[in-house]
Amino acid sequence: MALRLFNTLGREIQTFEPLKPGHAGFYGCGPTVYNYAHIGNLRAYVTHDILTRTLRAGGYTLTHVMNITDVGHLSGDSDFGEDKMIKSAAERGKSVLEIAEFYTEAFFHDLDRMNIIRPSVVCKATEHIADMVELIRRIELNGYTYSAGGNLYFDISRFPRYGELAMLRMDDLKAGARTEIDGNKRNPGDFVLWFTKSKFENQALIWDSPWGKGYPGWHIECSAMSIRYLGEMFDIHAGGIDHVPIHHTNEIAQSEAATGKHPWVKYWVHNEFLVLDKGKMSKSTGSFLTLQSLVDSGYDPLDYRCLLLGGHYRSQLQFSFEALDGAKNTRRALADKIRALSESAKNSPESPAQNPAADAHLSAFTAAVEDDLATPRAMAELWGLLRDSGVPPAAALKTALTMDEILGLGLSRTLEKAQTGETPEFTAEIEALVARRTAAKQAKDFAGADAIRNTLKKQGIILEDGKTGTTWRRG
C-alpha cells in the first residue's frame, strides 16, 4: 500500500511509513462529554474512520485510541473560562459523572449510527489520573515546569521547538498576549499541567498529587493516555484544525519534554471545519445541529456521512439542508443501483464475480483514498464502476461492496434487505418519526405533529390515523 497523507508537521504530503512495519498506532482526540456531539464534531470522527478503514484495507493491523474528556477542559483552550463539565452538570442539576456517562453513551450511539468503527481503545481521563501525574513528574524532573499561585505550569521558553507544528514564532507568542491573562504565567503561551488553586470553589473532581489536591490541565490527558496505549513514539495523531495552535502544540511540548524523544508523533492529520450558513458551530454556545436533529427532520445518519464524503477532509465544508438532500438522493440512487445489480446477478448466475474492468475501477478507487483520503474522487470511482456497462453485474456488486468497506455507506445492509425482500430503505427512521408525531399529539403539540406529517409527506410517506394508532404507506 502507498498511503500518502498531508502531515501538518511540515505542511506537506508524505508517504506513510509506520514505525513498526505492518502496524499503525493512531490516536484521535475524542469528545468532551458535556453536551451532545454536533455534526461538526462528527466530521472529525468520520475523517478518523476513513483513515482507519483505509489502513485496515491496506493490510495494517491497527491500534486506534480515543480519549473521553470528562475532566479539566475549560471553555477556553488556554486555561481560561469555566470547566465545561462542571458548568453543564450545574445547569442540568446532575453530577459531573452522570453528565459524562449520559453524553458518552449518546456519543457512541451517534458513532454507531454514522457507521463509524469504534476505536480499539476508548479511555476516560478520570480513569487515567495516575498516568497524568506520572508524566507531569517526568516533565518536572526534566526542568520544564514552575509553580505559581498554587498551580503547576509548563514553561514554553524551556522548549525551543515550541510551536513547530503550528509554525508559531516565539516572538509572536509573546507579542500576541491573550486578553484574559492568567497573571501567574511567565509567558502567555505557558499552560497548566496541574491545578491546585482552582478558580472553581465547587470543583467536583479532585485527586491527590505531589503538587497538592487538584486536577489535571486538559492537554496532559491526551499525552498521558496516548503514551500509555501507543508508546512514547507513535505513528498518527488526528483532530480538528482548531487543535493545531494550542492543544496539539502543547501536547507535543509536554510529551517530548517528558520523554526526550522526537518526534513524539510522526504524522499529524487535521480535518477542516464544517460550518453553518450562519458561521461557526459551537457546543459551548449551544448553537449547533445534532445528528438526532437531522434524523428528526427525516434524514438517515448515513445521508450525512454521504454528504461528508463528498468533500475533502482538508477543505472547509458548508452545511446546508439542500446539500443534505443531494446526499440523500445520492444514497437512494446507490441503493437502487445495488438492488438492480443484485437482481441482474441473480438472473445471470453464469456472470463472473471477477473481471478486469472491475479490478481497474477498484485500483482507481484505492489510489484515490490512498492519495490523502480523497473521498470525493473515491465516490466518483464508485459511480464510474456502477455506470460501466462493460462490468458484469456480479463483479460490479462485489467490487462496490469492497469499496464500501472504506466508504461505510451501508451498501451491504441495502443488499441484505434486497435479498430478504424487506421493505427497502429508511423504515426505522420513518417509524421513529411516526412515534414522535404520536407523542407530540399526546402532548397537544399539534404544530409539531403537523410539521412531522409534512416532512414525511415531502418524502412521499402518507400517514393514516386509525382507531388503533397511525399507519403509514408510501404514496
Which residue ranges make up the site for ligand AMP (CB under 6 A)?
29, 31-32, 40-41, 43-44, 239-240, 242-243, 271, 273-274, 281, 283
Among the listed ranges 28-36, 159-167, 316-324, 390-398, the one in contact with Zn ion (CB under 5 A) is 28-36
Q: Note whether 291 binds Zn ion by CB under 5 A.
A: no
Q: Note whether 33 binds Zn ion by CB under 5 A.
A: no
The least distance separating ligand AMP from the CB of residue 32, rounded to whole angstroms, comes to 4
Single-letter code of the amino acid located at 338: I
Residue 398 binds which one of ligand AMP, Zn ion, none, with CB within 5 to 8 A depending on kind? none
Residue 89 binds which one of ligand AMP, Zn ion, none, with CB within 5 to 8 A depending on kind? none
CA 104 – CA 31 distance, rounded (Å):
8
Instruction: Name the residue nearer to ligand AMP (CB basis): 274 or 294.
Output: 274
Among the listed ranges 25-33, 122-130, 354-362, 397-405, the one in contact with Zn ion (CB under 5 A) is 25-33
The cell for 64 is 486506534
Outline where 260-300 has alpha helix (H): 291-296
CA 48 – CA 50 distance, rounded (Å):
6
Backbone angles phi, psi at 473, to 5 degrees: -150, 160
Helix, strand, or coil here: 445?
Answer: coil
Q: For residues 172 and 118, is the Cβ–Cβ distance under 8 A? A: no
Instruction: Name the residue nearer to Zn ion (CB basis): 29 or 99.
Output: 29
CB proximity list for 172: less than 8 A, separation 6 or greater: none
Say which residue the cell 412521499 belongs to. 460
Instruction: Name the residue nearer to Zn ion (CB basis): 73 or 437.
Output: 73
Whats the size of the chain, residue-wise?
A: 475
Among the listed ranges 26-34, 131-139, 186-194, 306-314, the one in contact with Zn ion (CB under 5 A) is 26-34
CA 333 – CA 325 distance, rounded (Å):
12
The least distance separating ligand AMP from the CB of residue 369, rounded to whole angstroms, comes to 20
CA 101 – CA 89 distance, rounded (Å):
11
Rg of the Cα atoms in the chain: 25
Instruction: Name the residue nearer to ligand AMP (CB basis): 284 or 344.
Output: 284
Instruction: Name the residue nearer to ligand AMP (CB basis): 242 or 336.
Output: 242
Instruction: Name the residue nearer to ligand AMP (CB basis): 92 or 457.
Output: 92
Distances (CA, A) of 424 to 102, 345, 387, 413: 33, 18, 21, 10
CA 33 – CA 41 distance, rounded (Å):
12
Residue 222 binds which one of ligand AMP, Zn ion, none, with CB within 5 to 8 A depending on kind? Zn ion
Instruction: Name the residue nearer to ligand AMP (CB basis): 48 or 361.
Output: 48
Q: Note whether 334 binds Zn ion by CB under 5 A.
A: no
Instruction: Name the residue nearer to ligand AMP (CB basis): 230 or 281.
Output: 281
Please give the angle made by the CA atoms of 388, 392 and 398, to the nearest 5 degrees: 95
CA 285 – CA 34 distance, rounded (Å):
12
Is 154 exposed, middle or buried, given 0-12, 13-18 or 19+ CB atoms closer than 10 A? buried
Residue 437 binds which one of Zn ion, ligand AMP, none, with CB within 5 to 8 A depending on kind? none
The least distance separating ligand AMP from the CB of residue 100, rounded to whole angstroms, comes to 12
Residue nearest to ligand AMP (CB): 240
DSSP per-residue codes, 232-265: SSEEEEEEEGGGIIIIIHHHHHHHHHHH--S-SE
The least distance separating ligand AMP from the CB of residue 158, rounded to whole angstroms, comes to 27
Residue from 29, 86, 244, 433 that binds Zn ion (CB under 5 A)? 29
Binders of Zn ion: how many residues, by CB under 5 A?
2
Q: What is the DSSP letter of 58?
A: T
Distances (CA, A) of 97 to 82, 103, 159, 283: 17, 10, 36, 19
Instruction: Name the residue nearer to ligand AMP (CB basis): 29 or 452.
Output: 29
The least distance separating ligand AMP from the CB of residue 243, rounded to whole angstroms, comes to 5
The least distance separating ligand AMP from the CB of residue 334, rounded to whole angstroms, comes to 25
CA 150 – CA 152 distance, rounded (Å):
7
Residue from 50, 222, 373, 385 that binds Zn ion (CB under 5 A)? 222
Residue 273 binds which one of ligand AMP, Zn ion, none, with CB within 5 to 8 A depending on kind? ligand AMP
Instruction: Name the residue nearer to Zn ion (CB basis): 18 or 30.
Output: 30
**Binding positions for Zn ion, rule: CB under 5 A:** 29, 222
